[in-house]
């Protein structure tokens, strides 16, 4: 391999033999001018794991409410009840949307919301039960670690594990990876004061994993964090994955600042986004999958990242609100055909997957019942 930055040679030697990178290696990758070399190394790791296949999921996003007790500076989604953009969706309306997507061929529902100040615990359980009635086969991926902690300590007033058991028994299949942002406490104090700490986020996922369940992990980058803080974030995720092996995939999100209180921040460039994806692939050696969230990157860049360590383009989504309320200009959904075309356009072979990234036969519209 030709590298224009000699400081990458020791890292390349580690990549060649599958040796784990240190945090210092990760910082070197972030500072190196040789983006092409970093991408090439990440691509080697990606092809070792997944060959030429790139995947996507047929899914739908659901937001049950954006009413939230927090005031995160990076978020344009959350609202107080009095705000004009506040919303709260009734269970029958949510179930109707889930049924519509299931009938179209969706295999997964991805659901998150704000930390609602007054919805009772039984409402959340009823919501899961009613969604589950649509089909025993549809996969319900819902709630961030911060939502789970809110439900445990403010709503159900039960221990974390007991709350997770209630949610699982009502139909929850996996936890989402949201709420991680950047784990560094100084960053969290500035952009999401009052939100759960890194330790609390990790604890919720660890308990869930120890119950035999799976979840995803995320990072929100491109705001006030340093590259050292990004690497520490990845290090903590890798450390928990060593312990539990419960994370299915890692999804780094590029921050969209436009309508947030951090609107003065210049968004991450395409090059910085590709670098972050490639570094993630190289550093997170115990994660099988790196997903490019096309909502924040745009589909063309997400497709390009399939040669920078990424093996998955996420999903059809159907109705994304969180990034679009922050000012994202990307579409709110993609068709299966559009995702497959984007994958083929960069020379990869597309394949539909399930929530656990297992390749499945392409789903078709189901009989409406």
Q: For the domain that residue 334 is a member of, what is the CATH number?
A: 3.20.20.70
**Residue 360 resides in a domain:** no
**Residue 228 resides in a domain:** yes
Domain limits for position 167: 54-353
Task: Give the pLDDT of residue 352.
Answer: 98
**Residue 30 resides in a domain:** no
SS (H, E, C) the chain: CCCCCHHHHHHHHHHHHCCCCCHHHHHHHHHCCCHHHHHHHHHHHHHHHHCCEEEEECEEEEECECECCCCCCCCCCCECCCCCCCCECCHHHHHHHHHHHHHHCCCEEEEECCCCCCCCHHHHHHHHHHHHHHCCCCEEEECCHHHHHHHHHHHHCCCHHHHHHHHHHHCCCEECCCCCCCCCHHHHHHHCCCCCCHHHHHHHHHHHHHCCCEEEEEEEECCCCCHHHHHHHHHHHHHHHHHHCCEEEEEEEECCCCCCCCCCCCCCCHHHHHHHHHHHHHHCCCCCEEECCHHHHCHHHHHHHHHCCCCEEEECCCCCCHHHHCCCCCCCCCCHHHHHHHHHHCCCEEEEECCCCCECCCCCCCCCC
Q: How far apart are CA 219 and CA 238, in angstroms?
A: 13
Task: Give the pLDDT of residue 64.
Answer: 94
**Residue 340: how many CA atoms within 13 Å on its side-chain side?**
9
**Residue 42 resides in a domain:** no
Q: Beta partners for 57? A: 315, 353
**Residue 368 resides in a domain:** no
**Residue 31 resides in a domain:** no
**Residue 29 resides in a domain:** no
Q: How far apart are CA 261 and CA 147, in angstroms?
A: 22
Q: How many beta carbons lie within 10 A of that of residue 55, not counting itself?
A: 25
Q: What are phi and psi of 96, to 5 degrees?
A: -65, -40
Q: Quote the number of domains for the chain.
A: 1
Task: Give the pLDDT of residue 194.
Answer: 87
Residue in this structure with the two tokens 């060649």, named with its chain if needed: 16
**Residue 177 resides in a domain:** yes
Block means of pLDDT (10 residues each) for the chain, length 369 residues? 92 97 98 97 98 97 93 85 92 95 96 95 98 97 97 98 98 97 96 93 98 98 97 98 98 89 92 98 98 94 98 87 62 87 98 98 79
What is the bridge-based pairing of β-strands 108-112 and 59-63?
A: parallel
Q: How far apart are CA 283 and CA 41, in angstroms?
A: 11
Task: Give the pLDDT of residue 327.
Answer: 61
Q: How far apart are CA 84 and CA 19, in angstroms?
A: 53
Q: How far apart are CA 10 and CA 40, in angstroms?
A: 15
């Amino acid at each position: 391999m030709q590298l224009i930055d000699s400081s990458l040679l020791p890292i390349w030697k580690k990549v060649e033999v599958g040796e784990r990178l240190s945090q210092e290696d990760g910082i070197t990758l972030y500072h190196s001018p040789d983006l092409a070399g970093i991408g090439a190394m990440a691509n080697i790791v990606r092809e070792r794991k997944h060959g030429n296949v790139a995947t996507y999921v047929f899914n739908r996003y659901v937001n049950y409410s954006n009413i939230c007790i927090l005031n995160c500076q990076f978020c344009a989604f959350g609202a107080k009840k009095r705000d004009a953009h506040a919303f709260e969706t009734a269970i029958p309306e949510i179930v109707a949307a889930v049924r519509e997507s299931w009938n179209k061929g969706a295999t997964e529902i991805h659901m998150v919301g704000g930390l609602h100040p007054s919805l009772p615990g039984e409402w959340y359980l009823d919501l899961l039960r009613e969604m589950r009635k649509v089909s025993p086969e549809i996969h319900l991926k819902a709630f961030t670690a911060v939502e789970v902690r809110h439900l445990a300590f403010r709503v159900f007033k039960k221990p974390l594990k007991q709350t997770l058991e209630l949610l699982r028994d009502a139909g929850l299949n996996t936890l989402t990876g949201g709420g991680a942002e950047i784990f560094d406490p100084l960053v969290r104090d500035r952009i999401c004061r009052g939100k759960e700490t890194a330790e609390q986020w990790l604890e919720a996922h660890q308990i869930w994993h120890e119950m035999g369940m799976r979840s995803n992990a995320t990072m929100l980058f491109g705001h006030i964090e340093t590259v050292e803080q990004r690497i520490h974030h990845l290090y903590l995720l890798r450390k928990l994955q060593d312990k539990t092996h419960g994370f299915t995939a890692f999804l780094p999100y590029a921050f969209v600042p436009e309508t947030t209180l951090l609107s003065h921040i210049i968004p991450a460039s395409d090059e910085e986004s590709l670098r972050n994806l490639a570094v993630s692939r190289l550093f997170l050696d115990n994660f099988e999958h790196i997903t490019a969230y096309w909502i924040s990157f745009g589909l063309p860049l997400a497709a390009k990242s399939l040669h920078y360590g990424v093996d998955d383009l996420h999903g059809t989504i159907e109705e994304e609100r969180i990034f679009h309320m922050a000012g994202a200009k990307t579409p709110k959904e993609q068709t299966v055909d559009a995702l497959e075309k984007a994958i083929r356009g960069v020379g990869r072979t597309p394949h539909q997957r399930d929530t656990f990234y297992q390749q499945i036969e392409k789903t078709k519209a189901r009989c409406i019942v």
